[in-house]
Amino acid sequence: MLNEIKNDTKARMAKSVEAFRHDLVKIRTGRATTTLVDHIKVNYYGSDVPLSQVASVAVSDARSLTITPWEKPMVGAVEKAILASDLGLTPNTAGMVIRLNLPPLTEERRKDLAKVVHSGGEDAKVAIRNIRRDANHQVKELLKEKQITEDDAARAEQDIQKLTDEAIKNVDEVVRAKEQELMAV
């Protein structure tokens, strides 16, 4: 029973860290990467689909992306989706090819983005602590129902705390790595 709680806790904490890592992909660092537009949804004949399903996305150089829709009528829909997104970029269209030029980030914008990264890291840590609270509550319930001994409960809570510390350390590493990426000119 305790192993199930620990395994579930470990899996949920790993998912929280992974979700945070995935959210950071949307934060622009000044270098072009195809993951920058992964979250954009395009209206494709009445339904919203990911950009990658209606166009090919490629990095043409360090500061620009090229997006080539597979169908001519999709050019306008892709442009609209990019303009409506939170990227703050203006698409340049030449025929079937849409270019996204990434302007270099100003020092002030880099600091703002670093604050966003920190804030996301704190949110991820709160989620991890909530998972710890849930796991400790489950252990206390088992103890109250006399299914485990007090020693087992204490050991389980220590193990849960170790998992929590490890997950928070992972979040801190992700934040540090993203900050370094943001501050690199």
In 3D space, the residue among 36, 92, 98, 48 whose CA is nearest the CA of residue 70 turns out to be: 98
- Which pairs from 147-155 meet CB under 8 Å and 24+ separation? 147/1, 148/1, 148/2, 152/2
Ranking 58-67, 133-142, 153-162 by mean pLDDT, the lowest is 58-67
Q: Quick check: 100 and 4 in contact, CB under 8 A? A: no
- What tens digit of pLDDT does each residue of 78-127 get? 888 888 877 777 888 888 888 888 877 778 878 888 888 898 999 999 99
- What tens digit of pLDDT does each residue of 14-44 get? 999 999 988 887 776 667 777 778 788 888 8
In 3D space, the residue among 71, 172, 155 whose CA is nearest the CA of residue 117 turns out to be: 172
- pTM passes above 0.95: no
